[in-house]
Amino acid sequence: MIELTVDGRAVVVHDEDASLLDVVREQVGCRSVKDGCSPQGQCGCCTVLVDGAPRVSCVTPARRVHGRAITTTEGLDPAVAARWAAAFVDAGASQCGFCTPGIVLRLAALADRRAVVDEAAIRTALGAHLCRCTGWQSIVAAAARVLGTAGPAGDEPVQDAAVGAAPDRDPLFVQWRAQLEGPAFQVSDAAVVLGAGGFADDTAPVGALVALADADGAYAVGGDLPAARRQSAKVQGRRSTLGLRHPLAVPDGDWAVRLATTWVEPAYLEPDASWCLPGGRAASPLANGGAFGGKRASPVGDEARRLADEHDRAVRALWSRERVVRAGPKRPPVAAGVRADGTGVLRVATTPGAADLQPWVARVAETAPGLEVEVVTVDGPPVAPWLRATGWAEAAVLLAGARCAAAGTVGPGTPVEVTSPAGGRARVVVAADGSVEAAVWAGEALDPVTLRSYCFGAIHQALGWVWSEGLSVDDAGVVQDLTIRSFGILTARETPEMDVVLHSDDTWPVNGSDAVFAATAAAAWVAGGLAPTWPTGRPERTAR
Ligand code: FES
Ligand code: FES
């Protein structure tokens, strides 16, 4: 038995070689502590404070902290918790909210331990975390406001960091804007920041069986999560030394631009999860966000229902991070050659058993009617046609690149403008040091904080797509990169400065961040000289 104090309460828990994460979440019941990648120790979602110092709990054996004081967001001083929650809400620093409680704890500890905290210290502290939604800038802004230091350039506080009084924002407009951008229902309030985002695995009934899917999709079922873990086949997360492959060749031709991309992981932080009662309706894995389309067709709900019926008990169905990587949908690789007049050939990879790419092809035809699309079957992880800006972003990038090549305006500082099929418009410039300026037109902003947050996130995702992201897949089509750090997501320090200017008008609100995503990818590609393969590598001066 292990004795701990958790959020001020003395508890005695079973050792069973359990991690601190499993003890706190499963035995003590603190659901604000999230499991994004355990036992990889790479996402930071499971961060707790041990005697006031941040610790990644999924790689901390519980017995090592015997007798110590554990603090989660549920046990923070209420005034401190309220201050951080308000800062995050005011800055739009939390979208799905899955990464947020761990980040809040890390930053709160930073505030306690360092007399002087500047932006660099904040970004360094965030190095232990990943966030897929926000692009870091709004998180750094929230931290700067609480810590009383200068925030990122371009930060426009809705109100001063005397955080506490909520700015004049309409929650319905916040949700409406999030739903346009997500696209999924989303709440961004103090409760979400502190860990009550309503994620499927947080709402499961106590005593439910736990079914954990390994990398190959086999479920190990146990009376609780540690038991399921013990039975689960160990295909531990790993970062492969295998290089990235570009499975499609650019067709022969006299092209103004050529481009080949590889598989890209959506990399949402909350692994697919659901629970179900026998004969019941499964909890939605979409929870508080749509993972930018990544979970739209997740089978985990059906799997929870099947397992619940099979065992005649409530069952929590959880995918390990390795399972998400192997079976979750990827952005399909492309290879294209495009002439200056916008005609050309765009090849897109599909994989055996993957979803029909027809919606992807249709979006390309709408955006770039001069491109002939060839769908080519290759071995690889499943691809999907419903990920962010599906198909049309690739088409818009290629057209913008061909235009710039023809005009001789290739290089840093070239503005690229893109209009999405939804009618959102963005003009983006990427400078030599990687910093980004974006102007956005998306009808009535509804809630500028939310729209800007999504635009920052879109810039971050687009820069990752062009510069650093990809999955290594072997010749048999099996994904070899199985850790969440191996996908090339830009860290807080690697993410350059961003400035987003919103042009709100009185027209009907439309999605704006997807236009920002496509325009940023195009502008980064143009700024880097239209390299023929992605990822291209980061400009040297982006780290800070
Ligand atoms: S769950 Fe522990 S670091 Fe990801
Ligand atoms: S808010 Fe950070 S991962 Fe969604």
Task: Please report the pLDDT score of residue 160 as a whole number.
Answer: 38
The rounded mean pLDDT for the chain is: 93
Nearest to 260 by CA among 241, 278, 247: 247
Q: Which of ligand 1's atoms lies nearest the C-alpha of 484? A: 4
Residue 152 reports pLDDT greater than 80:
no
> Do 210 and 201 meet the contact criterion of CB atoms below 8 Å apart?
no
383-391: average pLDDT = 95
Atom number, ligand 2, closest to the C-alpha of residue 132:
3
Of 178, 200, 59, the residue nearest 445 (C-alpha): 178
Taking the CA of residue 103 as reference, the ligand 2 atom at the shortest distance is 2
Q: Choose the residue to mutate in 24, 30, 32, 40 for probing ligand 1, maximizing ligand atoms within 8 Å of C-beta.
A: 40
362 Cβ contact list (under 8 Å, min separation 6): 391
Please state which of the ranges 108-117, 345-354, 519-528 shows the lowest mean pLDDT: 108-117
Ligand 2 contacts CB of residue 134 (under 6 A)? yes
Average pLDDT over residues 461-485: 93
Question: Of the ligands numbered here, which is closest to the C-alpha atom of 267?
Answer: 2
Determine the pLDDT at residue 366: 97
Percent of the chain surpassing pLDDT 70: 95
d(Cα 478, Cα 483) in Å, to the nearest integer? 14
pLDDT of amino acid 327 = 93
Q: Please count the other Cβ atoms lying within 10 Å of the Cβ belonging to residue 409.
A: 13
How many CB atoms within 10 Å of residue 493? Answer: 15
Q: Give which of 121, 78, 79, 84 is closest to 103, Cα–Cα.
A: 84
> In the 8-state DSSP scheme, what is residue 282?
P
Q: Which of 119, 4, 3 is nearest to 51 (CA)?
A: 4
SS3 track for 293-314: HCCCCCCHHHHHHHHHHHHCCC
pLDDT of 149 reads 78
**DSSP letters of 416-453?**
EEEE-TTS-EEEEEE-TTS-EEEEEE-SS-SSHHHHHH
Question: Quick check: CB of 41 below 6 Å from ligand 1?
Answer: yes
pLDDT at 163 (0 to 100)? 38
pLDDT of the residue at 239:
65
Q: Please choose, from the candidates 58, 226, 201, 195, the residue with its C-alpha nearest in 3D space to the C-alpha of residue 128.
A: 58
The alpha carbon of 338 and the centre of ligand 1 are apart by a number of angstroms equal to 42
Q: 482 or 53, which is more confident?
A: 53
Q: What is the pLDDT of residue 159?
A: 40
- Using one digit for the tens of pLDDT, what is the confidence trace for 303-341? 999 999 999 999 999 999 999 999 999 999 999 999 999
Ligand 2 atom, smallest distance to 289 CA? 4
Beta bridge partners of 371: 344
What angle do helix axes 78-91 and 100-113 make, rounded to 10 degrees? 120
Percent of the chain at pLDDT above 90? 83
User: Mutation test of ligand 2: which of 34, 37, 88, 96 has the most ligand atoms closer than 8 Å to its C-beta?
Assistant: 96
Atom from ligand 1 closest to the CA of residue 38? 1
The torsion defined by the Cα of 434, 439, 443 and 448, in degrees rounded to 10, comes to 70
Tell me how far apart the alpha carbons of residues 96 and 22 are, in angstroms, rounded to a whole number: 22
CA-CA distance, 119 to 215, in Å (whole number)?
38
Instruction: Verify whether ligand 1 is closer than 6 Å to residue 47 (CB atom).
Output: no
Measured in angstroms, how far is the CA atom of residue 403 from the centroid of ligand 2? 35
Reported confidence tier of residue 533, pLDDT bands at 50, 70, 90: very high
The response to whether residue 291 sits with its C-beta less than 6 Å from ligand 2 reads: no
Question: Which ligand has an atom closest to residue 186 CA?
Answer: 2
Is the pLDDT score of 512 beyond 90? yes
Task: Kindly give the distance from the C-alpha atom of residue 33 to the centroid of ligand 1, in angstroms, as a whole number.
Answer: 10
Q: Does residue 466 sit in helix, strand or coil?
A: helix
* Any atom of ligand 2 within 6 Å of the Cβ of 41: no
Phi, psi of 318, deg, nearest 5: -125, 135
**Farthest CA pair distance, the chain:** 72
Residue 487 DSSP code = G
Which atom of ligand 1 is found nearest the CA of 59? 2
Nearest-ligand number for the alpha carbon of 24: 1
Q: Cα(27) to centroid of ligand 1, in Å? A: 18
Q: Tell me if 95 CB under 6 Å of ligand 2.
A: yes
Chain mean position to CA 463: 13
Position 158 scores a pLDDT of: 43
Q: Which atom of ligand 2 is nearest to the CA of 99?
A: 2
Q: How far is the CA of 105 from the centre of ligand 1 (A)?
A: 14
Ligand 2 atom 3: residue of nearest CA: 131
Q: Specify the pLDDT at position 482.
A: 83
From first CA to last CA, the distance across the chain in angstroms is 45
Phi-psi region at 218: left, alpha or beta (left = phi > 0; alpha = psi -120 to 50):
beta
Q: How far is the CA of 200 from the centre of ligand 2 (A)?
A: 16
Using CA atoms, how far apart are residues 485 and 240, in angstroms rounded to an integer?
A: 11
